[in-house]
Structures are given as structure tokens and as C-alpha cells.
Structure 1
């Protein structure tokens, strides 16, 4: 099941909140050696804000097996703050209804078929969330291989925001944009065989950047 977390759900979904930060600790710090903050075995950064929403995949309602963070860029944008050289047209950072997707991760200890299902579910969740919330597009920075295998392979048409560049240990990164539309979602559902995936029983509230 894919669930949507926010600061308003901490009292009811505390186990999932803790588990997703623990997953990020394992996948980004322990496995990939990210130089980011950690406390008590949980990875976090300044982009974990009250405006952030979290898509988390869980089977038991307590343990997170896959996750991603979504934040309206008016409340903080990692791509703009740290990697704007990857973006040719900077006007994307002042465009209304743009969110940033970050910290996309899946538990690497799981078998390949389960990881593939979680990946596809998160991808569909991006679009379902975007449509429900009136998001125009979701931007982010990822390795070029991930853009192809995670998003394009599962039916999402991407717009590259700039050229791919080597970063760190010769990994090529590229900024891209996902246009949120019903057509994108229909194509992704057809490609993955998934129907509605995102469980969110709370009323939608509009976020507004100052």
C-alpha cells in the first residue's frame, strides 16, 4: 500500500515516519555514503519541512519499504539551491504549482521483483498525488540511468531541463521535469498494469508559498 504522510499525520503514523527516515539512513548514508545529517539512525535535511509530503510504501503499516519526498518549491528547492547549473531555463523555479521530488529510495535488501513493484507504485503515486493536489509538474535531479529505468521505462514522458553532467564518482546526473496530467497517468497505468495506488483518506489542503 502507498500512503501519504505529512506533519498532520505524525500522531497517527509515527512508526511510518520513523521508518522512512531509517530507510533513508540505510540507502543514502550507509549504502551510498551521502554526506548529510543523521540522528539516531535517521537521515534528514533542511528540506524536510512542514510543507513536505511523503509517499511511503508499506505492507504492515509500520515498516517503509520505499519512499519519496515531495515539496512545493516555494518552501525550499534542493535543485535550485545546490544544483542550478543542471537547469538551463531558471524560470522553472518561479513557475506556479511546481513541486520537487527528492529522496526517492527503495529498500535494496528486497528481491528484484518486489523492488520493481514498489518502484512502479511510487511512480504512479507521483502522478496521482500531483493530479489530486493540482500540481503542474514535478522536477528533480537523478542519475540518468534512474531517469530511464524508473520513470521512462514505466511510461512517464520526461522533459530534460539541462544536459547530463558528471558528478562525484563519475555518475552522470540530469535534471528533469514530469508534466502532471491524466494522460501521463493513464499511460503509466497501462505500462505497469497498476490501478489507483495512493491511499489518502484526508481532505486535500492547498499549499501556498509566501
Structure 2
């Protein structure tokens, strides 16, 4: 099992991994969860999949097991910035605008973490290992990008995983049902004991 952080600058060195990650997102969010998201050629994508973002993938033998997208809160692409802020601004009709208790931050040391998933078909005997690998690599990648904090609209079970790695996650907004799944915005501190 490997963990890789993809960017537009390095994806050419990883063969079809980026496309496979978008296919795994399609399988997870569109096929399984029935979310109404943009897709083409069996790949799910949106306006935040730009050169400003990074994608953390856990994979084995070319198969993507899990992933998450990291986007700087300073990102801009047309009218869009990052997912949590754009939802708060009312630009994303599928996400309630009251997702944060305070105005969404814009700062180079805060990155947005979203589209977190564990692929369908990951067996229960390795699922925890895959989740831990994803969370650990996400934190290391975010730190390498200069982040001290991540902000993410995440499934509510994620903080329990974070605690096992020594990652502090503080609620930043109300509990929301998105696509039938309980989510909440969390601030994830990079100043944890996790190495």
C-alpha cells in the first residue's frame, strides 16, 4: 500500500493514478452515494480540481483505495474560491450556507480538505489501515504545503480516526445532512503530536 500526493506538476510521473482517483470518486459519490456531481468518462470532478489543488491518494497496484483533495483557502478560479467558502457564499446549492459558525477564512496557512473517501470494495480487514494511512499522509502533505490548519466539511466519524493519530479536530459549524450522510465542518490543527 502506498500514499501519494498528486499535483499538476507531478501527475505525469504517476501514470493513470490521477484518472483512477477521479474514477474512484465517481464510484463512491455518484454510483454508490447517488450525489448529483459533474462527471465525464466515468470520472467525477468539479471546479476545484485545478492546478491550485493537491490530491492525496492511498493506492495499491494501480487501484485507488482512498483519497482527499486539498485546496488553499487563497485559491481563485473565476467566481469560485474553495468549497466551504463558496457554500457559505451561497454558490453551491447542494451544501447549506450555514455550514460554518464564522466567516470562512482566507489565509495561506489554512487549506480546505474535501472529497474525502474510502473506495467502495475496500475490505473491512484493511479499511482501518487505509483510513489511517490517508489521514496521516493528508496531514504530512498539508504541513509540507505550509498549512498549520485544515478546514473540511467531513463525515462526522473522521474525528475519531484523527484522535488515534494525535490529530486535533474542532467542530466549526452545525451538524448537516449532505447526500444522506452526516457531515460537519472541522478545523484540523497541524500543531499536533502526529509525525
Query: Into which bin does the TM-score normalised by the smaller protein fall?
Result: 0.7 to 0.9
Give CA deviations for 1:150-185 in whole Å, capped at 9, x if unaligned. Answer: 33354322111122234454x43211110112x331
Matches within 5 A, 1:47-66: 47-60=48-61, 62-66=62-66
Aligned with residue 101 of structure 2, among 65, 72, 88 = 88
TM-score normalised to the size of structure 1?
Answer: 0.79
Note the alpha carbon deviations across 1:82-109, whole angstroms, 9 max, x for none.
144111121x422331101111111221
Could you say which residue in structure 1 is the equivalent of 2:194?
A: 185
Write the mapping of 1:198-209 to structure 2, written as runs, cut at 5 A. none
When the two structures are aligned, how many residues end up with a matched partner? Answer: 181
2:58 and 2:66 in contact (8 A); partners too: yes
On the 8 A contact 1:107/1:115 being kept in 2, the answer is no
Q: 2:122 aligns with which of 110, 117, 126?
A: 110
Q: What is the aligned partner in structure 1 of residue 148 from structure 2? A: 136
Contact 2:21–2:57 (8 Å) recurs in 1: yes
Tell me, yes or no, if the aligned pair for 2:74 and 2:107 is still in contact at 8 Å.
Answer: no
More helix by share: 1
Unaligned runs of 5+ in 1: 187-210
Specify which of 146, 161, 186 is matched with residue 176 of structure 1. 186
How high is the TM-score relative to the length of structure 2? 0.85
3-state secondary structure, aligned to 1:159: strand
Q: Counterparts of 1:30 and 1:127 in 2: how far apart (Å)?
A: 28
Q: Secondary structure at 1:102's aligned position in 2?
A: strand
Q: Distance in 2 between matches of 1:152 and 1:29?
A: 29
Residue pair 1:69, 1:103 contacting (<8 A) in 2 also: yes
Question: 2:82 aligned to 72, 77, 86, which one?
Answer: 77
Gaps of 5+ in 2: 76-80, 89-96
CA distance in 2 between partners of 1:32 and 1:45 (Å): 17
SS at match of 1:70: strand
Q: Is the 8 A contact 1:108 1:115 kept in 2?
A: no
* Cα distance in structure 1, aligned partners of 2:58 and 2:42: 20
State the partner residue of 2:176: 165
Q: Which residue of 1 aligns with 2:68?
A: 68
Find the counterpart in structure 1 of residue 110 from structure 2.
98
Aligned to 2:42: 41
